[in-house]
Structure 1
Amino acid sequence: MRDATSGNAEQDSPGSPASRTLSEENVAMRVAWEMRRRGWSQERMAQELTNAGCPTHQSAISKIVNPKPDGSRRVISVDEAIAMARVFGIPLEELPLPPEAAEGRDLHELSRTVTHEGRKAKAQHAQFLLAWARLRHRLSQQDNRAFYREFLAQRRVGVDQASEAIKVWRDLPSWRDATAAYYKLERTLQTLGTGRDMTPPTDDVRRRRSVVADLLRARELFASRIPGAPVRVVPDLVDHFAQTLIRADLLEVAIPLIDSYARGTAHPVDEVVTEIDRRLQEITAREPKNRHEYLESLAARIGLRGETHESQERQARSAGDLGVSVEDYRDAKDLGDMYRESGMR
């Protein structure tokens, strides 16, 4: 570490960031930096500014980004600076900052891209597993395997190749590997925070991943939403809940229903709802080892009671009925509700 004296000397040095704060030179350097990272030519930059309402010629860009032999550059007007900030998608006040600010923003944008693309990949992987689960379910029937072989034979696929393809789709180890890949990606994303504020995962037990929350959300899907929905809209509902079904490990029991609706035929929900309730009952019967498990057990009890939107007065009565404190009741309810909104988290 530097002492205070050396730190002050560094701040006062001609090349230090402090000496270049909020300078027009910084604007020119930022423009050149943003153009390089986008692969924009001077002509493209001039066109972007023109499209943003600030008519600009390529020669003006050249005079801004390329200093004269004496180091001077073309003066940048306020209108040009506003247009530059607009086309680069950055706050105007950031434009005259030292170049290091651009690197910092770029790193933050990369961090947001990592988390955004990771979550998008996780959602796509869930759809991949959902389709694979349907395929495995259909190919478990001998008639369907015969239909598939015949279809492949018509396309001049040999019998051995067709059998190998079917074997691959039905292969249990491959399916387990594909499922494990989803969970690995999810665990990785959990360590990255939100990607917006770089906040790491919280230690608050009310915000941890909860299998009860996923089970309750799946119960809402099968017990409430699907029975009252037209057959044609159920596949979209299921797609929306794909990650919930994977996290709750419900694909195997739910896939006959899912596949039936995907093919345009209604299917009873009783078996799936019964399985969900059985798992919730198992959770309530477990001896909790820590507060998180205690809240999960309590959340399962609340979920089985069917309590949804409650006033504070009603929550107090429900807590009394269950013999728990109001604080524990509300924490458990928070945990059980955390993934039950209309959007996936």
Structure 2
Amino acid sequence: MPVAGKRSDPDQTNQSGVRSLSEENVALRIAWEMRRRGWSQERMAQELTNAGCPTHQSAISKIVNPKPDGSRRAISVDEAIALARVFGIALEELPLPMDDAEGRDLHDLSRTVTHEGRNATEQYARFLLAWARLRHRFAQEQSRAAYEGFLAQRRVDPDAAEQAIALWRDADSWREATAGYDKLHRILQAMGDGRDLTPPAQESRRRHSAVADLLRLRELFATKIPSTPVRVVPDLIYHVTEALVRTGMQETAIGVIDAYERGTTHPTDAVTKEIDRRLRQIGDRQPEDRLDYLESLAARIALNQRGQPQQSPEDVAAELEVSIEDYLEARKIAYRHRETGMK
């Protein structure tokens, strides 16, 4: 029998027979929300008052601190609505057991980490691209002299200027920075897509396609850049920054990138040749598993169809000596960037 004066719902029991008390859950939720926000009872009362439900600190104390007999101050409907509004949750979530609240909070945090991590990779890629431009420019004696002269005019110590240039040209620092990006990218891949963070089975997990990245870059450097006004090219490059860093193509392409950022043209042949070389490497390598096989086949498809007249899928599959099913699946990988607008 419940303790006298203790509010309970006799119909709500869990599998072990322990009663699940809605008002007790609300009280526990209030205390938990206060702790995670660092709010005092006075602050909690003020938040409810601001939400249109005038509340005194003593009322909060009586809700979160049970009496010796286990009873608590009752919570009105108006207070429950104000609590849900203050905590930013649906009203029906308020009386749920605390393990539900904790689980949802952790899930929300995991999604925040994923989202912010994705933003971080984008910012990190731009940072590396800017650093690559610095390294490219400082490799030229004329540019170094211009920078040293600029700093000298501002009375910067020559030794300090030399140290600054050496820092940006340091190969070990550059390797550490690019390794940091690679590690962050791998972590985010392992975490999932930010919607369902349950780790998928290893075989079914979609790997990031280097072929799709390389084809996106080839389309840019072989077709778009040569036919686009100089002033527009930096914006085009801006949208493929992550692909450049993921594939390690930024150093090969940096001469083109830097020229267009400064408003001048630059031939792109060296970049497209390097992309084709890497696609051939992927196409020729010995696959380790099916996903690797499809990636390799995707590279072969991309190279095979370049400059060729339109052929039926069946004819191309026969030419490559693969099944039509494998051909169609690999082709989706090769041209995924066109379907998704992948950055």
Query: TM-score when scaled to structure 2?
Result: 0.81
Give how far 1:177 is off: 1.6
SS at the partner of 2:257? helix
Matched, 1:223 2:228: no
Give how far 1:19 is off: 1.6
Partner residue, 1:281? 280
Partner residue, 2:331? 333
Amino acid at match of 2:115: H
Q: Output one character per residue of 1:224-269: Cα deviation in whole Å (capped at 9) or x when no partner.
A: 4434444334323323212211121111111111112222233333
**8 Å Cα contact 1:194/1:200 also seen in 2:** no
1:78-117 matches, within 5 Å, as 78-117=77-116
1:133-212 matches, within 5 Å, as 133-204=132-203, 207-212=206-211
Matched, 1:264 2:263: yes
Identity of aligned residues (%): 62
SS at the partner of 2:191? coil
Partner residue, 2:31? 32
Aligned CA distance change for structure 1 residues 51 and 235 (closer, same or farther; 3 Å): farther
Partner residue, 1:15? none
Partner residue, 1:303? 302
SS at the partner of 1:20? coil
CA distance in 1, matches of 2:143, 2:243: 28
CA distance in 1, matches of 2:167, 2:196: 43
Matched, 1:324 2:329: no
Partner residue, 1:56? 54
SS at the partner of 2:54? coil
Aligned CA distance change for structure 1 residues 266 and 324 (closer, same or farther; 3 Å): same
**8 Å Cα contact 2:48/2:55 also seen in 1:** no
Give how far 1:72 is off: 4.1
**8 Å Cα contact 2:25/2:95 also seen in 1:** yes
SS at the partner of 1:11? coil
Aligned positions, number: 326
CA distance in 2, matches of 1:306, 1:79: 68
Matched, 1:20 2:20: yes
Give how far 1:108 is off: 2.1
Worse-matched range after superposition: 294-303 or 77-86:
77-86
Consecutive unaligned residues of structure 1, counting only runs of 5 or more, are 1-7, 13-17
Matched, 1:293 2:292: yes
Q: Output one character per residue of 1:25-81: Cα deviation in whole Å (capped at 9) or x when no partner.
A: 2112212211221233456545655666x4433455555445566654443344543
Aligned CA distance change for structure 1 residues 284 and 101 (closer, same or farther; 3 Å): closer
Give how far 1:334 is off: 2.7
Consecutive unaligned residues of structure 2, counting only runs of 5 or more, are 1-12
